[in-house]
Amino acid sequence: MQLIIHPERTQWPAILARPTQDPAQLEKAIRQVLNKVKENGDEALRQFTQQFDGVSIGQLEVTEQEISTAGSLISDALKQAIGTAKKNIETFHSFQMTEEPAVAVMPGVKCWRRSVGIEKVGLYIPGGTAPLFSTVLMLGVPAKLAGCKEIILCTPPQKDGTVHPAILFAAQLAGITKIFKVGGSQAIAAMAYGTESVPKVSKIFGPGNQYVNGAKQLVQADNTAIDMPAGPSEVCVLADDSANAAFVAADLLSQAEHGPDSQVLLVTTSAPFAEAVKKEIASQVSLLPREAFAQQSLTNSRAVVLSSIDDAIDLVNQYAAEHLIIACENEMSLGDRVINAGSVFLGNYSPESAGDYASGTNHTLPTNGFAAAYSGVSVDSFVKKITYQQLTREGLQQLAPVIEEMAIAEGLDAHANAVRVRLK
């Protein structure tokens, strides 16, 4: 992990740059997959599953029996943990279900909005190097609350051709039954275009690697909406001398272990603290089963020492982290100064892994700086907001001069006539 002390502001963009592959080569590879799935459907999905996952798949859809027996294949303790996490996620997200009142903007003119669940949505659940069954809850729970009628789930198969039982158990708990053994950019293509087995959806959700993220962005051009650009995971920790170096190192490693293209960033006002964190990382990383992934990620990662907390906040806001941990004495007031972040964790006892699993907030968040413009997944992500208006004759009479004046000024006389004909 590179240590950078008191860099000039002109150096910040280079320091905050995310690791990435050559965009042209990445797009070329993804387009080949998208086109083949679009043309050859299930056959292409089976070929890519063999090529990328090393698995030969016959039936792509998970059977009812596989789903019903999944619970017997995991421990009672894990089932209880998944149940508790689901309850917390459901509780937090249920408070997002607010009805908006109708507004009388002027006498006789009433306007309102109604939330309607998107009918068909597709959920992508990573499962290659780690089966992210927690993501099933993060996406499935708000989709159900929003009232989505058809929920499709795609996830890569394990080497034996099955889906990890924890993913199936979480899906069953969330009320999702249409599950397919398809991963990578080919899964995004299947949900965007539809195949003989996989239904076409209107919007695709879920995190993934650069291929999955790139595929999501490309299918937008083919009239399939996506939740947000959500690629390799990242965390930024803002810490001062009051923080615990072991805690901070553990938080950084919890993201570094996701994969070699993940990135972690430490921002602090204390060079001795940064050194202490580096020593803790060296001590802790060797104990991790996924040490190889974490070590590769750390080569993309940095510890930055700045001269003031004001500069530190500026740097953090410029980075626009997916996950931001503030481990400082005055974490609440510093938290109020955050304007760009996916999800914020305040204080020494709020690890990022709490939000990843069970605090109740959503862990599907914008990465790669997109937190400057995007929010994380919520119930709102799964609904459309349809506006309504109702005018009485008297209301239209009052509004008519405004409409006619503006329509004529724009050269759209038929618009003005639509008002005149009603008031004759």
pLDDT at 351 over 90: yes
Per the domain annotation, does 365 fall within a domain? no
Last-in-domain residue among 183, 209, 228: 228
Pick out the residues of the known binding site for substrate. 233, 255, 258, 323, 356, 410, 415
Q: What is the pLDDT of residue 231?
A: 66
Report pLDDT digits (tens) over 172-213.
999 999 999 999 999 999 999 999 999 999 999 998 888 998
Instruction: State which of 318, 342, 360 marks the end of a domain.
Output: 360
Q: What is the CATH number of the domain that holds 336?
A: 3.40.50.1980
Q: Binding site residues, as ranges? A: 124, 186, 209, 233, 255, 258, 323, 356, 410, 415
Examine residue 90 and state whether it is found in any structural domain, yes or no.
yes
Residue 385 within any structural domain of the chain: no
363 is catalytic: no
For the chain, what is the domain count? 3
**pLDDT at residue 21 above 70?**
no
Q: How confident is the model at residue 299 (pLDDT cuts 50, 70, 90)?
A: confident
Q: What are the tokens at 32?
A: 């080949």
Assigned domain for 367 exists:
no
Stretch 338-355: mean pLDDT, rounded?
A: 97
Whether residues 262 and 236 share a domain: the answer is yes
Closest CA to 55 of 227, 186, 173: 186
For residue 243, what are the domain limits? Answer: 2-19+232-360
User: 257, 280, 322, 352: which is the annotated catalytic residue?
Assistant: 322
Catalytic annotation present for 66: no
What radius of gyration, in Å, describes the C-alpha atoms of the chain?
25
Sheet-wide strand order for 302-305: 2-5, 302-305, 263-268, 234-239, 321-327, 341-346
Q: Are 219 and 265 members of one domain?
A: no
Round to whole Å and give the CA distance between 17 and 37.
33
Give yes or no: residues 38 and 155 share one domain: yes
How do residues 106-142 score in pLDDT, each as one tens digit? 999 999 999 999 999 999 999 866 789 999 999 999 9
Same domain flag for 27 and 57: yes
Mean pLDDT value of segment 291-298: 84
Shared-domain flag, residues 36 and 103: yes
Examine the domain organization and report whether 193 and 129 are in the same domain.
yes
Tell whether 141 is covered by a domain: yes
- Computed over every residue of the chain, the mean pLDDT equals 94
Tell me the whole-structure pTM to 2 decimals.
0.93
CA distance 238 to 185: 34
Return d(Cα 64, Cα 32) in angstroms, integer. 33
Q: Considering the domain boundaries, does residue 372 fall inside one?
A: no
Q: Which of 93, 257, 280, 323 is catalytic?
A: 323
Residue 58 has pLDDT above 70, yes or no: yes
Q: Which of 207, 228, 249 is the last residue of a domain?
A: 228
Residues 238 and 221 in one domain: no
In a shared domain, residues 36 and 15: no
Beta-carbon count within 10 A of 42 CB:
18
Q: How many CB atoms lie within 10 A of CB 403?
A: 15
User: Per-residue pLDDT tens for 95-104?
Assistant: 999 889 999 9
285-291: Cβ within 8 A, 24+ apart: 285/253, 285/256, 288/253, 288/257, 290/129, 290/130, 290/257
pLDDT number for residue 208: 85
pLDDT on residue 29: 94
Specify whether 96 is located in the same domain as 182.
yes
Known binding site for Zn(2+): residues? Answer: 255, 258, 356, 415
278 lies in the same domain as 220: no
Do 224 and 250 lie in one domain? The reply is no
Is 369 among the domain residues? no
- The size of the chain, in residues, is 424
In a domain, 373, yes or no: no
Classify burial at 92, counting beta carbons within 10 Å of its beta carbon; exposed 0-12, middle 13-18, buried 19 or more. middle
Residues 72 and 205 both lie in one domain: yes
Give the closest residue to 141 by CA, choosing from 111, 199, 96, 98. 96
Question: Which tens digit of pLDDT belongs to each residue from 146-166?
Answer: 999 999 999 999 999 999 999
